[in-house]
Each structure stands twice: as structure tokens, then as C-alpha cells.
């Protein structure tokens, strides 16, 4: 595909978007990623009213937007500024129509900044359930809580970061470094949230794989450093990082958040290739693109490049100025931006609103993000509008039950010499670890969970919620042992060596709780600026395990962590009789682990990542130091699609515990693989043209029509759509206003555009989901108690650049002792395809394709060749 070479001078920012697609046309990893560039693509695609699932919402949205004035449309697109309203982000309202400001609220695991809400297991933890029902139920319950607080858009789920490197600080907010597990999890979560009547915002699009340097900023020692550029080739983009976003789009996500970083040296929120071509073009995304908070870095450039909503609306927090707001009004009336582009932004926002039924389910916002007080300021930053701001509405319902169940079902049993489940009649139980007990400041004692005190049940940053309570492991285990005449002692100071020794020595069973934390880069905990500095346990966890297991030959280790941790210092110790990974389980942590330890729940979770022996096994390290010149650090994704287990398999490294691994208290056997070919038509590229861009208004270009209303009560630093002056350069407050800019070809072209071959429906060409094979296998419970097994289907695509095996499907089966269940899984055309950079489409290569079924990525007893 040939790209036009154009210099794109954005406001105050020269964005070189030139050079053709930089990947090797043969589909191998590209030779050079350093300084990669992103090709331009214009015009920004407008909504397709015929897109599957969107027709009704589109019609309603168009009817609504047709009534709006230019200023009202601008209000829909632009946030009112940081801490300007009740939610973590709000756009302007449309008082004339009684349409209130839309409310966007964190987080991917619950409602942030509110009370009487639930703290759900984190994304990376629920992923370990490998259970579509759990993904959906969690999404639905979170959605119901958001809805009950009056929120319109939940800022989640997360599939970016995907988890390229396990040290990435926010990986735990997402699901798994495997794109298929993440894709299924995100699709079910989106459906759950949106069935509850709230718009899901799938984020962060895209390649936001580390916290260090995610945004431009000044650093103490080195001064200004521009945002990191994640440089990726076209094949890796499609086969790995974009994959789960395609699933989210297919599931109907109403919104997608563009990320802080650059991709191929272009800021993602103004990257026309990624937003216009890939997301709205190829993936046929019909909802709206919202910026991450302060991730917008230009006005007109981001407008043309496909951004639809700016959050929180101001250029910098509380600057009082905006790249949009008055500037968006100006860019329309001065003729730079065609009105159809603004109409499309507004239509996309309103279509998402109608798609999920916000018109039916909206309740007044009844909380305030910036204070838990009942009375306070409506506009927190401006300190005005004193009144009732928090009604403390309890939206939790009976969600605690599902949270407990989900956390237990997401717990992964990594080792068990037979000591588990415990009987509850152990004579002398000892519990160790700071991670077993309370945070001395309370469960919410560190802002945004920015410390690692007490038991770890959530990472830190904006992806959090306040705990309504947090059941610690120690209190739950105490409850188990009470009443049995047993002894229970605990030491929660990891460094109380002599007390640890003397308690461990007496114990018949010792349960050691250890952890490793991470979070968002604006908080540093124990020297970790969001991203982890290493993969070892925190708080001297390894030493703790050693100190306990040296004295007790029945030591059970429970790990609460954000992702992989190094366990080989103790995993082979004969005195360590069991190891469990419990992730970040949320509010019911202690109850859930007790359910597993004492056998009420037979563990069936599987690792959603690989546990290796050193950080270097996972591939390239994160970038922790700025590169010379203080330009964008170049983060070259040279490993291509080989991350996590694909990297271990490719380099033939034996992991400690492989992706997909997890034991049960019973055992399973696999047999009877059967592959049935399903007739499907050929794959046909999408052809033809779109409609012309609909124009839903004809706004006046007279500046006098857009002046501040004389009776408006100005809220300090608030962003409005109005002009302060009829002198346009003056109103813009921009020294570069009106300077000649050569925009790339096609930015204003509203004529019918060619459809994209790999596109054609939400998520991509609908034929990618044609089923080509149906696979069945028998899974038998060969033990003596009921259990659940996640049967996994992997495919070997067979080419030299393909993973040895790649997950393609799975199902969690509940099986009675001695009984069998049939695992049934479809294999779609998408599952068998590679991205072909020459035809810019998916193709099934001529290499032999093999299907594997089994219990983990490395224990695949059944296999068959696919007759394509
Ligand atoms: C692509 O493959 C062809 C045929 O094998 C080869 O001649 C050509 O050099 C390859 N191109 C690149 C960029 O590797
Ligand atoms: C990328 O740009 C930097 C800075 O200009 C330069 O030092 C480096 O050699 C470039 N890399 C490549 C592969 O051209
Ligand atoms: C824009 O939104 C603000 C804030 O909600 C509101 O005060 C103003 O009236 C709105 N303007 C228009 C034209 O609707
Ligand atoms: C318009 O945008 C420019 C940056 O492009 C900014 O400096 C200016 O303050 C904005 N004007 C208003 C009125 O928000
Ligand atoms: C139109 O308005 C935008 C936004 O303020 C500004 O950046 C641009 O320079 C203006 N263009 C002209 C031709 O006046
Ligand atoms: C509790 O958290 C604070 C803040 O991170 C830290 O300084 C302190 O060491 C922690 N206390 C313990 C006992 O871990
Ligand atoms: C790894 O980081 C944790 C958390 O900061 C720290 O406690 C631990 O000592 C570090 N491990 C190593 C080997 O440096
Ligand atoms: C295992 O525990 C016993 C005490 O039960 C102790 O004597 C022995 O040294 C321990 N072994 C290891 C490898 O820690
Ligand atoms: C631990 O050591 C005790 C005393 O030697 C022994 O009775 C018990 O069987 C051992 N337990 C395990 C799990 O090895
Ligand atoms: C301001 O004046 C306009 C025009 O007279 C009127 O429509 C609007 O309701 C007034 N707004 C307020 C907040 O009083
Ligand atoms: C617009 O004018 C108001 C009233 O004079 C002033 O307070 C505000 O700062 C101005 N806003 C911008 C964006 O120029």
C-alpha cells in the first residue's frame, strides 16, 4: 500500500508523518524500527449507519444531533476541565434540551472516588478464571454500580497495556499478555457493562506498554523528555496488540480511549493511521475516541486525526484553556474544519449513548469524585456551588458474593504435594507475612492505593476503587480454625526473624503470604515509579519464605501479585508443600483464599501469564532511562509477536510455571480429539465505497453568534465553547492562530471513500469470524471430587515467524468425579490467518496447521493436522 508523503504541521508541534509502511512486505519482523514513522490517513471516517448493531442508535443520534447548534455540539466533545464537575471527567451540557453533562468515571475494577461501592478482582486476576461467565458477570455488576451512581461512561476495560513486559506498571488493569484470552475477556466485559446500561470505554489504545516516559515531561536530572514512542511493525500490530481491540469493537464498545504514548513517533491521540485507518476504518469502530487525561496535544491535528472527545478538556489540568472548546468553535467558523467532522464526533458520542440505553437508564449523578463529604463544592477546583454533593448511594447489591466466588475461581494452584485442601482440624496453624494482615492506615489509607502495606488486593493508580472493607487472609483463616480447639499464631512483621522462627518451628502448617505491587506512574512506591523495577517479591518475601520453610516442613505460600514473580528460590523446596497465586482479588480476598485452602472451592484457575526464572527471559526490558537528546525514547518492539509464552517457546526456555498452567484437587484426562471441517465460503475482501459524510447542520460563520452569553456565571478555569471576542486571533489566545498550515491531502474530503478490504463490519471483515472447523475432545475427571478444568485449544500456524503454539480458544468445564465432559470449540478463519502486509489483509498461509488441545500451553496431549 502506498502512502502519501506529507508534512503535517500541527499547532506548536511538527508531526512528521511520512514514509511508507515500514514493515517487511514478506511479513517477517522488520529490519529497522528505530525512528519508525506512521503514515497519514485522511479523511477521518464518519459513522456507518448500517454497521451491525448500530442502526437504531445511529438513527436516534442523528436525529438528536440535527437539533443542535454548533456550540452545543462543541460542548458534547469537550471536557469542562480537571475537577470542574462531579466525575473524573465531564463534558459540557445542553441546557436548552435539558441534556445534562455526560459523566466519565474510572475504573476498570469498580467505581473510583466513591463510597458504598464494591472492589472487584482486578482484570489480570479475573483473567485467571478463564471463564466467560465470570468476565460477563463482573462487567455487568460493575456496570450496574456505575449506573447507580449516575455515570455514563465507565473508563474500562483495559487491553492496553497488553503486557509486553511483566514489569509494566499497569498490566494488572488489563487481562493477559495473550491476545485471545484478553480478547475474549474484553468482549465479555464490554457486553456486561453495556448490558447494564453504561458505555464501556476500552483503553488504552494503543501500545501503552510502560509507565516511564508515557507522556512528555520534565525529569529532575535530565530535563524535558518527549513521550516514549512504541515502534511496531504492521504484522505485530495486527496479530498481537490490535487483536483484543478488534474483539472489543466487535462486542460493541461505545468508546475507546487513546493513550499517552506515541506510536511510530506520532502521538496516538493525533495518529491518523491508528485512529482513522486502523480503528475507524479497518475495525469499523462506530463509537467515539476519547483522549486519556491530557493525552491530547493539538487542536486541529487531533480533530482531523479522528479524536472525538477531549478529556478532561483543558490543555493542562486547570489551565482554563483548551485545544478544543473555543478553539474547536473557531476551527469550524474559520473554515479549517468542515462541519461534518464535528457532526460525526457528536453523532458517535450520542450513538454510544443510545446504543446502551442511557436515555432510559440515566439517573442523576449522586456522588462527587473530589470529596467524600456530604456537603461541599459542586465545582471542586473553582470552589463554587456549595451544596449537597454526596448522597452516599449504596450500589453494591449482593455483589460481594460474586466477588468472593470470582476471586476463588481465579486462584491458581501451582504446587500441591497433597497437603491441600486443609481439613480445618490442623493442630497448630501459623500465618506469616505483612501480606496476611491489615494496612495500619486502613484499606484505603494510601491515596489511590499508593503503598504496599498489609494484604495486597489491588494495584495503585487511577485503576482503583475504594474498598468498602477488605477481608484479610489472617482474619479469614482465624475464623476457619476457631472452634476446633486449634492453635493459630501469626507474625505479620516480615523482619521479626526470631519470632518467625519460633512460631514456624511449632506449626503443623505454615501459610506464608507474600506480594509484589505496581501501578500508575504518577505514584512511586518503594522506588517503583509505576513500573516494577524487578520481578522479585516485595517486603523481603523470599527471605520470609526461606525463614519459615527452614523450620516448618509444611509451608504453603500464597502470592498476591500484579503479575509474574520469581518463585524458583522456593518452588522446589521439599518443605514448600503448596503454592497458590491469588492475584489481586479485591474486597473478599481472605474469604476467597480460605474457600480454596479449606476445600470449599476446588481451584480451577490457570495462569494468564508465564512464570519464568528471570526478567530477561521475557524479552526486551522496559526503558527506564531517557535516551540522549531528550527526544522520544525509541521503544522498538523488535521481538514482534513473541511475548510471554511465545517468547519462552521460541527461545526454548523452560518456564517454572507455563502460561495456562494450574492444578486442581482432582485430576483430569484428555481423549477423543475430533475435528470437523465446516463448509464456509471463500474470504472476500470488502469493496465499494462509503456514503458521503452526512452534514447535520449549517452553522453561521459570524463570530458574533458565538460570544459569551452576558448572563453566564463563569466558573473559574472551566472550559466553555464560547468565544471571548469577535476578534478571532484574540479569542483563540493562540499566537500561532491563522498561520498558514499545509494540512495533509484529504483532511476535509467528505466525499464517499473506498471501503477497506480487511474491514466491513465492527471488528473487521465479518468473514474473519466464519467457522472453518469445530473441534471436540473428551475431558474426564479421574479423581474423587468434583472439579473444574479449563480445556485449552492452541494452534500452530506453521510459518517461520509464527509462535510454536498460540492460544485460540478455551472453555471451563465442571466435571463430576469419574464423569466426562465434551470440550467443544470453534476455529474461525481469523484463528488460522496471518496478517499479510502486502495485500493489507488476513491470509491463511500454506504452512501446515496443527491444532492442539490440553491443559496448559505446554501440556497438550491431543493434536491433529487441519485439512484446510
Ligand atoms: C521477500 O521474499 C522474496 C522471495 O523469497 C525475496 O526475494 C525478497 O528479498 C524478500 N524481501 C524481503 C524484504 O525480505
Ligand atoms: C534514529 O534517530 C537517532 C537520532 O537522530 C539516530 O541517532 C539513530 O541513528 C536513528 N536510528 C536509525 C536506525 O536511523
Ligand atoms: C455548555 O456547557 C456548559 C457547562 O455545562 C453550560 O453551562 C453551557 O450552557 C453549555 N452551552 C451551551 C451552548 O449549551
Ligand atoms: C487554543 O489552543 C491553543 C493551543 O493550540 C492554546 O494555547 C490556547 O490557549 C487555546 N485557546 C483557548 C481559548 O482555549
Ligand atoms: C482556525 O482556528 C483554529 C483553532 O483556533 C486555529 O488553530 C487555526 O489557525 C485557524 N485557522 C485559520 C485559517 O484562521
Ligand atoms: C506503609 O506505607 C508507607 C508509605 O508507602 C511506607 O513508608 C511504610 O514503610 C509502610 N509500612 C510498612 C510497615 O510497610
Ligand atoms: C525488587 O523491588 C522490591 C520493591 O521495591 C524490593 O523490595 C526488592 O528488594 C527488589 N529486589 C531486588 C533484588 O532488588
Ligand atoms: C525442612 O523442615 C525441617 C523441619 O521440619 C528442617 O529440619 C529442614 O532443614 C527443612 N528443610 C529445608 C530444605 O529447609
Ligand atoms: C514434617 O515432619 C514431621 C516430623 O518429622 C513429620 O511427621 C511430617 O510427616 C512431615 N510433614 C511433611 C508434610 O513432610
Ligand atoms: C441567558 O440568556 C439567554 C438569552 O436570553 C436565555 O435563553 C438563558 O436561559 C439565560 N441563561 C441563564 C443561565 O440565565
Ligand atoms: C474569557 O473571559 C472571561 C471573562 O472576562 C475570563 O474570566 C476568562 O478567563 C476568559 N477565558 C478565556 C478562555 O479566555
Mean of pLDDT values over 666-670? 98
Specify the 3-state DSSP secondary structure of 666.
Answer: coil
Counting atoms of ligand 4 from 1, which one is nearest the CA of 322? 14
- Residue 595's φ and ψ, nearest 5 degrees, are -60, -40
**Would the CB of 92 count as within 6 Å of ligand 3?**
yes
**Which residue do the cell numbers 496448559 mark?**
856
Counting atoms of ligand 7 from 1, which one is nearest the CA of 517? 4
Residues 6 or more apart whose CB falls under 8 angstroms from that of 360 comprise: 197
C-alpha cell at position 867: 485439512
**What are the residue boundaries of the structural domains of the chain, listed by start?**
6-21+45-365+374-392+697-732, 401-608+661-666, 670-685+759-865
Pocket of ligand 7 (CB under 6 A): 526-528, 533-534, 536, 538
478/487 Cα distance (integer angstroms):
9
Best of 95, 705, 711, 714 to mutate for ligand 10, by most ligand atoms within 8 A of CB?
711
Counting atoms of ligand 5 from 1, which one is nearest the CA of 734? 5
Cα 95 off chain centre by: 34
Q: What is the pLDDT of residues 500-549, one digit of tens each?
A: 999 999 999 999 999 999 999 999 999 999 999 999 999 999 999 999 99
Counting atoms of ligand 1 from 1, which one is nearest the CA of 26? 1
Please give the distance, rounded to the nearest whole angstrom, from the Cα atom of residue 448 to the centre of ligand 6.
14
544/436 Cα distance (integer angstroms):
13
Mean of pLDDT values over 702-728? 96
Mean of pLDDT values over 154-179? 98
Please give the distance, rounded to the nearest whole angstrom, from the Cα atom of residue 323 to the centre of ligand 4.
5
Q: How many C-beta neighbours within 10 Å does residue 252 have?
A: 25
Q: Which CATH class is domain 401-608+661-666?
A: alpha beta
Going by C-alpha positions, the residue among 213, 162, 28, 33 that lies closest to residue 636 is 33
523/529 Cα distance (integer angstroms):
6
**Would the CB of 627 count as within 6 Å of ligand 2?**
no
C-alpha cell at position 733: 489566545
Residues 6 or more apart whose CB falls under 8 angstroms from that of 99 comprise: 93
Q: Annotate 533-567 with b (16+ C-beta within 10 A) or e (fewer).
A: eebebbbbbbbbbbbbbebbebbbbbbbbbbbbbb
Predicted local distance difference test score (pLDDT) of residue 486: 87
Q: What is the pLDDT of residues 331-386, one digit of tens each?
A: 999 999 999 999 999 999 999 999 999 999 999 999 999 999 999 999 999 999 99
How many residues appear in the chain?
868
Please give the distance, rounded to the nearest whole angstrom, from the Cα atom of residue 510 to the centre of ligand 8.
13
Q: What residue owns the CA closest to ligand 1's atom 3?
A: 26
Specify the 3-state DSSP secondary structure of 448.
Answer: helix
DSSP string, 90-102: EB--BGGGTBPPP
C-alpha cell at position 466: 475504594
C-alpha cell at position 842: 488476513
Which phi-psi region, left, alpha or beta, contains residue 506 (left: φ > 0; alpha: ψ -120 to 50)?
A: alpha
**Reported confidence tier of residue 222, pLDDT bands at 50, 70, 90:** confident
Q: How far is CA 460 from CA 277, 396, 451, 525, 622, in A?
A: 34, 22, 8, 9, 19
Q: Mean pLDDT score of the chain, rounded to an integer?
A: 95
Q: What residue owns the CA closest to ligand 1's atom 1?
A: 26
Q: Is the pLDDT of residue 470 over 50?
A: yes
Positions marked active-site = 292
Contact 529, 554 (CB under 8 A): no
Q: Which CATH class is domain 670-685+759-865?
A: mainly beta
Among the ranges given (598-607, 625-634, 654-663, 743-752), the one the predictor scored with the smallest mean pLDDT? 625-634
Q: Is the pLDDT of residue 421 over 90?
A: yes
**Reported confidence tier of residue 431, pLDDT bands at 50, 70, 90:** very high
**Would the CB of 573 count as within 6 Å of ligand 8?**
yes
Q: How many C-beta neighbours within 10 Å does residue 816 have?
A: 12
Predicted local distance difference test score (pLDDT) of residue 2: 26
Q: How far is CA 66 from CA 81, 102, 343, 362, 757, in A?
A: 26, 19, 9, 22, 32
Which ligand is closest in space to the CA of residue 526?
Answer: 7
Q: What residue owns the CA closest to ligand 2's atom 6?
A: 35
Alpha helices in 633-675 (DSSP H): 645-650
Predicted local distance difference test score (pLDDT) of residue 26: 38
Largest CA distance in the chain: 85
Please give the distance, rounded to the nearest whole angstrom, from the Cα atom of residue 83 to the centre of ligand 8.
57
Please give the distance, rounded to the nearest whole angstrom, from the Cα atom of residue 98 to the centre of ligand 4.
29
Q: What is the pLDDT of residues 272-313, one digit of tens each?
A: 999 999 999 999 999 999 999 999 999 999 999 999 999 999
Q: In what order do the strands lie in the sheet with 103-105?
A: 89-90, 103-105, 153-154, 199-205, 255-258, 288-291
Return the percentage of the chain with pLDDT > 90, whole number: 94
Specify the 3-state DSSP secondary structure of 136.
Answer: helix
Q: How far is CA 468 from CA 115, 119, 471, 748, in A?
A: 7, 7, 10, 50
Best of 300, 310, 321, 699 to mutate for ligand 5, by most ligand atoms within 8 A of CB?
300
230/451 Cα distance (integer angstroms):
29
Q: What residue owns the CA closest to ligand 1's atom 8?
A: 26
Going by C-alpha positions, the residue among 776, 758, 754 that lies closest to residue 829 is 758
State the burial class of residue 46 (Cβ atoms within 10 Å of its Cβ: 0-12, 13-18, 19+). buried
Predicted local distance difference test score (pLDDT) of residue 27: 39
Q: Is the pLDDT of residue 24 over 60?
A: no
Pocket of ligand 1 (CB under 6 A): 24-26
Tell me whether domains 6-21+45-365+374-392+697-732 and 670-685+759-865 share a fold. Answer: no
DSSP string, 181-198: HHHHHHHHHHHHHHHTT-
165/643 Cα distance (integer angstroms):
8
Cα four-point dihedral sign 438, 166, 621, 229: negative
582/567 Cα distance (integer angstroms):
14
DSSP string, 396-439: -TTHHHHHHHHHHHT-EEEEESS-PSP-S--SEEEEE-GGGS--
645/856 Cα distance (integer angstroms):
11
Side-chain half-sphere CA neighbours of 377 within 13 A: 12
C-alpha cell at position 349: 458520542
Q: How many C-beta neighbours within 10 Å does residue 62 have?
A: 18
Pocket of ligand 4 (CB under 6 A): 11-12, 299, 315, 321-323, 325-327, 732-734
C-alpha cell at position 93: 451540557
Q: What is the pLDDT of residues 233-261, one digit of tens each?
A: 999 999 999 999 999 999 999 999 999 99
383/400 Cα distance (integer angstroms):
36
Evaluate whether the domain defined by 6-21+45-365+374-392+697-732 bears CATH number 3.20.20.300.
yes
Which ligand is closest in space to the CA of residue 631?
Answer: 2
Please give the distance, rounded to the nearest whole angstrom, from the Cα atom of residue 536 to the centre of ligand 7.
6
Which ligand is closest in space to the CA of residue 26?
Answer: 1
Predicted local distance difference test score (pLDDT) of residue 358: 98
Mean of pLDDT values over 43-65? 98
Residues 6 or more apart whose CB falls under 8 angstroms from that of 150 comprise: 103, 362, 363, 364, 365, 366, 367
**Reported confidence tier of residue 20, pLDDT bands at 50, 70, 90:** very low
List residues bridging with 681 in a β-sheet. none
Contact 40, 272 (CB under 8 A): yes
The H or E element that residue 528 is part of is: strand 528-529
Q: What is the pLDDT of residues 87-145, one digit of tens each?
A: 999 999 999 999 999 999 999 999 999 999 999 999 999 999 999 999 999 999 999 99
In the chain, the N- to C-terminal Cα span, in Å, equals 28
**Reported confidence tier of residue 29, pLDDT bands at 50, 70, 90:** very low
Predicted local distance difference test score (pLDDT) of residue 31: 62
Predicted local distance difference test score (pLDDT) of residue 30: 52
**Which residue do the cell numbers 456565571 mark?**
713
- Residue 49's φ and ψ, nearest 5 degrees, are -60, -15
Amino acid at each position: 500500500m502506498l502512502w502519501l508523503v506529507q508534512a503535517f504541521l500541527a499547532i506548536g508541534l511538527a508531526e512528521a508523518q511520512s514514509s511508507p509502511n515500514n514493515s517487511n512486505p514478506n511479513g517477517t519482523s522488520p529490519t529497522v524500527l528505530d525512528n519508525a514513522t506512521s503514515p497519514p490517513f485522511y479523511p477521518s471516517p464518519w459513522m456507518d449507519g448500517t454497521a451491525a448493531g448500530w442502526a437504531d442508535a445511529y438513527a436516534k443520534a442523528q436525529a438528536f444531533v440535527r437539533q443542535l447548534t454548533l456550540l452545543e455540539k462543541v460542548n458534547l466533545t469537550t471536557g469542562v476541565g480537571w475537577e470542574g464537575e462531579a466525575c473524573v471527567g465531564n463534558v459540557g451540557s445542553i441546557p436548552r434540551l435539558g441534556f445534562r453533562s455526560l459523566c466519565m468515571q474510572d475504573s476498570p475494577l469498580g467505581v473510583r472516588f466513591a463510597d458504598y461501592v464494591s472492589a472487584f478482582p482486578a482484570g489480570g486476576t479475573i483473567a485467571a478464571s478463564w471463564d466467560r461467565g465470570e468476565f460477563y458477570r463482573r462487567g455487568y455488576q460493575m456496570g450496574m454500580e456505575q449506573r447507580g451512581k449516575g455515570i455514563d461512561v465507565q473508563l474500562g476495560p483495559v487491553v492496553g497495556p497488553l503486557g509486553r513486559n511483566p514489569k509494566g506498571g499497569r498490566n494488572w488493569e488489563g487481562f493477559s499478555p495473550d491476545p485471545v484470552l484478553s480478547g475474549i475477556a474484553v468482549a465479555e466485559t464490554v457486553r456486561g457493562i453495556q448490558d447494564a446500561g453504561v458505555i464501556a470505554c476500552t483503553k488504552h489504545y494503543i501500545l501503552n506498554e510502560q509507565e516511564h516516559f508515557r507522556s512528555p515531561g520534565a525529569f529532575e536530572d535530565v530535563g524535558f523528555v518527549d513521550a516514549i514512542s512504541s515502534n511496531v511493525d504492521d504484522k505485530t500490530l495486527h496479530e498481537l496488540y490490535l487483536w483484543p481491540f478488534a474483539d472489543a469493537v466487535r462486542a460493541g464498545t461505545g468508546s475507546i480511549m487513546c493513550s499517552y504514548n506515541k506510536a511510530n513517533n506520532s502521538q496516538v491521540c493525533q495518529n491518523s493511521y491508528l485512529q482513522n485507518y486502523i480503528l475507524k476504518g479497518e475495525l469499523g469502530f462506530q463509537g467515539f475516541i476519547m483522549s486519556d487525561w491530557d493525552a491530547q496535544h493539538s487542536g486541529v491535528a487531533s480533530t482531523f486525526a479522528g479524536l472525538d472527545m477531549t478529556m478532561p478538556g483543558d490543555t493542562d489540568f486547570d489551565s482554563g484553556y483548551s485545544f478544543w472548546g473555543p478553539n474547536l468553535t473557531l476551527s469550524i467558523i474559520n473554515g479549517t474544519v468542515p462541519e461534518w467532522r464535528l457532526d460525526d464526533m457528536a453523532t458517535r458520542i450520542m450513538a454510544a449513548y443510545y446504543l446502551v440505553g442511557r436515555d432510559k437508564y440515566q439517573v442523576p449523578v449522586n456522588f462527587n469524585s473530589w470529596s467524600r463529604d456530604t456537603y461541599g463544592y459542586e465545582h471542586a477546583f473553582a470552589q463554587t456551588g456549595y451544596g449537597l454533593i454526596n448522597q452516599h448511594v449504596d450500589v453494591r447489591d449482593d455483589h460481594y458474593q460474586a466477588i468472593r466466588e470470582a476471586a476463588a475461581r481465579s486462584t491458581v494452584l501451582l504446587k500441591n504435594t497433597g497437603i491441600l485442601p486443609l481439613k480445618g482440624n490442623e493442630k497448630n496453624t501459623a500465618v506469616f507475612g505483612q501480606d496476611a494482615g491489615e494496612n495500619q492506615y486502613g484499606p484505603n489509607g494510601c491515596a489511590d492505593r499508593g503503598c504496599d502495606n498489609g494484604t495486597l488486593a489491588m494495584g495503585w493508580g487511577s485503576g482503583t476503587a475504594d474498598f468498602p472493607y477488605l477481608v484479610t487472609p489472617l482474619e479469614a483463616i482465624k475464623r476457619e480454625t476457631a472452634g476446633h480447639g486449634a492453635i493459630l499464631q501469626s507474625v505479620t512483621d516480615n523482619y521479626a526473624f526470631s519470632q518467625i522462627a519460633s512460631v514456624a518451628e511449632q506449626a503443623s502448617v505454615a501459610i506464608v503470604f507474600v506480594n509484589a505491587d505496581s501501578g500508575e506512574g504518577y505514584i512511586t512506591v518503594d522506588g517503583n515509579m509505576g513500573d516494577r523495577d524487578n520481578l522479585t517479591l516485595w517486603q523481603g518475601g523470599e527471605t520470609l519464605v526461606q525463614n519459615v520453610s527452614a523450620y516448618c516442613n509444611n509451608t504453603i505460600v500464597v502470592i498476591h501479585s500484579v503479575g509474574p514473580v520469581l518463585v524458583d528460590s522456593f518452588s522446589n523446596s521439599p518443605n514448600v508443600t503448596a503454592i497458590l497465586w491469588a492475584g489481586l482479588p479485591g474486597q473478599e480476598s481472605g474469604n476467597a483464599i480460605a474457600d480454596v485452602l479449606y476445600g470449599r472451592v476446588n481451584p480451577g484457575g490457570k495462569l494468564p501469564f508465564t512464570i519464568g526464572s528471570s526478567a530477561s527471559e521475557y524479552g526486551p526490558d522496559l526503558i527506564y532511562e531517557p535516551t540522549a537528546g531528550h527526544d522520544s525514547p525509541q521503544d522498538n518492539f523488535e521481538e514482534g509477536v513473541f511475548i510471554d509464552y511465545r517468547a519462552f517457546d521460541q527461545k526454548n526456555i523452560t518456564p517454572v510455571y507455563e502460561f495456562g498452567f494450574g492444578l486442581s484437587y482432582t485430576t483430569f484426562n484428555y481423549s477423543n480429539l475430533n475435528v470437523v471441517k465446516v463448509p464456509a465460503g471463500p474470504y472476500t475482501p470488502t469493496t465499494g465505497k462509503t456514503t458521503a459524510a452526512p452534514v447535520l447542520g449549517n452553522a453561521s460563520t459570524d463570530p458574533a453568534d458565538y460570544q459569551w452569553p452576558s448572563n453566564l456565571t463563569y466558573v473559574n478555569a472551566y472550559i466553555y465553547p464560547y468565544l471571548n471576542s469577535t476578534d478571532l486571533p484574540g479569542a483563540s489566545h493562540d499566537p500561532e492562530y491563522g498561520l498558514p498550515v499545509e494540512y495533509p491531502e484529504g483532511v476535509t474530503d467528505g466525499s464517499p471513500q473506498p471501503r477497506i478490504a480487511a474491514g466491513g463490519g465492527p471488528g473487521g471483515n465479518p468473514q474473519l469470524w466464519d467457522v472453518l472447523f469445530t473441534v471436540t475432545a473428551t475431558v474426564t475427571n479421574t479423581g474423587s471430587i468434583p472439579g473444574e478444568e479449563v480445556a485449552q485449544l492452541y494452534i500452530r500456524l506453521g510459518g517461520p515467524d509464527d509462535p510454536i503454539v498460540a492460544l485460540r480458544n478455551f472453555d471451563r468445564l465442571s466435571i463430576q468425579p469419574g464423569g466426562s465432559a465434551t470440550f467443544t470449540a470453534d476455529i474461525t478463519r481469523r484463528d488460522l490467518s496471518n496478517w499479510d502486509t502486502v495485500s493489507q489483509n488476513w491470509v491463511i498461509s500454506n504452512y501446515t496447521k496443527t491444532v492442539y488441545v490440553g491443559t496448559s500451553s505446554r501440556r497438550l496431549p491431543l493434536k491433529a493436522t487441519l485439512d484446510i
